[in-house]
Structure 1
Amino acid sequence: MADCKNILRTSLILMGEIGGNDYNHAVIAGKPINELKSYVPLVINTIISSINELIEIGAETLVVPGNLPIGCSAAYLTIYYGSDKADYDNKTGCLTALNKFAEWHNELLQTALNQIREVHPNVNIIYADYHNAAMQFFRSPEKYGFTNGALKACCGGGGPYNYNELVECADPSSTTCAQPETYANWDGLHLTEAAYHVIFKSLFQGTYTTPQFNSLCPTSNVKVRDASSSLVQSS
């Protein structure tokens, strides 16, 4: 047990995106956003319970991700295709209500994390702002090399966003783009490696964590994989 506690004490623990699939399945099943909102307190409580359990068995540094801007998902954009123009963000083409839902989840999560910080002042609780890190390339896709846009999936079953719930990526009838590094969206629900690379740099080498990751954990020896799959040394 002592060895386990020491491993946890000296480890950086990245919490998974708890709740992501709970929201995904509900949206895909056609549940209204008001029903999704009823899930949020349950999801937040589960995240906090998991964090407290890890702290109890020795964890001292945890990265807790917020929700991504799900209104920019090719899957959701397909499900809601044909909605009123007022439902979309003019700058990004994303669904405003779903992104606001994700922001609300993130606000509740951050409030709960502050409460943990008060109870455990010696534990590093790092909030990872996946939402705004990703919104960078949804607002300006070409700036980040996504010349084929940020909303259309690279791998999918056709349609305006190349997403078809009945034809998943890797299905014999699906199609895959020739240059995935020029797309931000991989299969409708997941981003491409290139998009995740932007998010990684924004979090662990940039300013999209609270507190800032670089102020707690030096990254001079961190190696990351870039969009072309070559290993690069971070500065």
Structure 2
Amino acid sequence: MAFPFLSFPHFLSIFPLFLTIFLLRFPNIDSKLDCYTSIFSFGDSLIDTGNFLYSHPHDYIGHLPYGETYFHHPTGRCSDGRVILDLLAEEFGIPLLPAYLVSRSKEQDFRGGANFAVAGGTALDAAFFAERGIEDLSTNYSMGVQLNWFMELLPTLCPDSSNCRDMLRRSLFLMGEFGGNDYSLVYQKGWITPELHTVVSQIITAISSAVDMLIEHGATTVMVPGTLPIGCFLTIFGRPSKDNYEPLTGCRKDLNELVSYHNQQLQKELDWMRDKHPNATIIYVDYYNAALPVFGSPYQFGFSKGAFVACCGGGGPYNFNSSAPCGSPWAKAFNNTSLYWNWDGRHPTEAGNRMITTGLIEGPYTIPPITSSCPSLASENVNHPHYE
């Protein structure tokens, strides 16, 4: 059907209607979530962008093939490319966050935010593990240590408390993931699942206290991730027995039940904190359910090499050998990393990280949805706490 000829003046008169229809039909073309001016993040290897490597310069993550996919050189990220934090920052239109220890040593600018996460980071301090005979921590950079770094940095970002209020109001805080390393440490020490459950409340309390402290100092938007399905990292914890097998995923039932309980308790705590801090936006990040589907149906997500086999490793079951880790001279990486979800036996590939991040941005895995609004920026009249 041909449209009748429209004179130019007539076209101009109805152009706003065409424009409205177009925007309603295609609302997200090349869009960014233009909500925040900076991000401050705390956590472990899932989002570390170089802090561990700075403190352990001879570690294997400082060697190729780490970083080969995106940066084309090792950056201290436990991946072949970008991690979840990088992909979130890009979605928000914020430059990739500098690792705090690296940038502090170079006296670089932190006005766009900072990443305090360190591989091996735990929710509980080293003293907790020392009291239980666990001294062999990969790092001593717990959540408490990372928070102290933030408190040391804060006065240099905004010496004037009124400026600090505005900066923190326009900043996104990512608190975690925390808990996975805590459970792994005590599990590898020989604790059985019922004993692991006794640690949950202490970890949740530590996370809650950290979020509370950030809000009291002026943060108004905090993302708090739950724990990944660690029972699916068979490279670390081994194959499940018949009575400990999840039929839909092939993962270990006992460990996934533990982290499911952790995540349930964390959500209950965050509900309580929302009542305590009605002017803050506290977002639960469901890493568990964002990642879990890939283990049951890796082909559906484009991972034709599966979700259990490590792309980079030194052989053995699932191409993982702790004596020949990725980055060592005895390990090698397969081609086409995007076909693998698991990078080095412990962390996702960039493609795996993108799958999780897409679930957070486009799917139902943030509560409330991260894309629904920017509540902390909605009103200039909200009473926010001041930094002292």
Find the counterpart in structure 1 of residue 197 from structure 2.
37
Alignment counterpart, residue 24 of structure 1, candidates 184, 188, 209? 184
Q: How does 1:78-227 map to 2 (within 5 A)?
A: 79-81=237-239, 83-217=240-374
Work out which of the two has the higher radius of gyration on C-alpha atoms and give 1 or 2: 2
Identity %, equivalent residues: 45
Once the two structures are TM-superposed, the CA of residue 136 in structure 1 deviates from its matched residue by 2.0
Write the deviation string for residues 51-99 of structure 1: whole angstroms up to 9, x where unpaired: 00000010111111001011111333xx433x42221112221111111
Residue in 1 that maps onto 2:230: 70
| Alpha-carbon distance in structure 2 between the residues aligned to 1:10 and 1:217 | 9
Deviations 1:102-130 (A, max 9, x none): 10000000000001001111110100110
Answer yes or no: is the 8 Å Cα contact 1:67–1:105 preserved in 2.
Answer: yes
User: Contact 1:74/1:163 (CA < 8 Å) preserved in 2?
Assistant: no
- Alpha-carbon distance in 2 for matches of 1:29, 1:169: 24
* 1:185-225 Cα distance to aligned partner (Å, 9 max, x none): 1111111111110110111222111111111249xxxxxxx
Matched position secondary structure for 2:282: strand
Q: CA deviation at 1:151?
A: 0.9
Alpha-carbon shift at residue 14 of structure 1 (Å) = 1.1
**SS class of match (1:24):** helix
Tell me by how many angstroms 1:39 deviates.
1.6
The secondary structure found in structure 1 opposite 2:318 is coil
Partners in 2 of 1:162 and 1:95 — Cα distance? 18
Q: Which residue identity lines up with residue 288 of structure 2 in the other structure?
A: H
Partner of residue 4 from structure 1, selected from 164, 173, 184:
164
1:101, distance to aligned residue in structure 2 (A): 0.8
The change in CA–CA distance for 1:217 and 1:183 in structure 2 (over 3 A counts) is: farther
Aligned partner of residue 161 in structure 1, secondary structure:
helix
Distance 1:150 1:217 in 2: 34
CA RMSD of aligned residues (A): 1.6
TM-aligned CA distance change 1:192 to 1:28, over 3 Å: farther
Tell me the residue number matched to 1:55: 215
For residue 113 of structure 1, what is the amino acid of its counterpart? L
Q: Deviations over 1:9-54 (max 9, x none)?
A: 1111111212222122223334322222222111111100110000
Distance in 2 between the 1:88 and 1:137 partners?
A: 16
Give CA deviations for 1:135-176 in whole Å, capped at 9, x if unaligned. 121121011110000111111222121122222211111121
Distance in 1 between the 2:331 and 2:188 partners? 19
Going from structure 1 to structure 2, the CA distance change for 1:109 and 1:80 (only over 3 Å counts) comes to same
Letter in 1 for 2:177: E
Matched-pair contact (CA < 8 Å) for 1:74–1:189? no
**2-side partners of 1:74 and 1:180: how far apart?**
19
Q: Which amino acid aligns with 1:19?
A: G
- The number of residues matched between the two structures is 215
Alignment-mate amino acid for residue 243 of structure 2 = A
Aligned mates of 1:32, 1:45 — CA distance in 2? 22
Q: Normalising by structure 2, what TM-score? A: 0.53
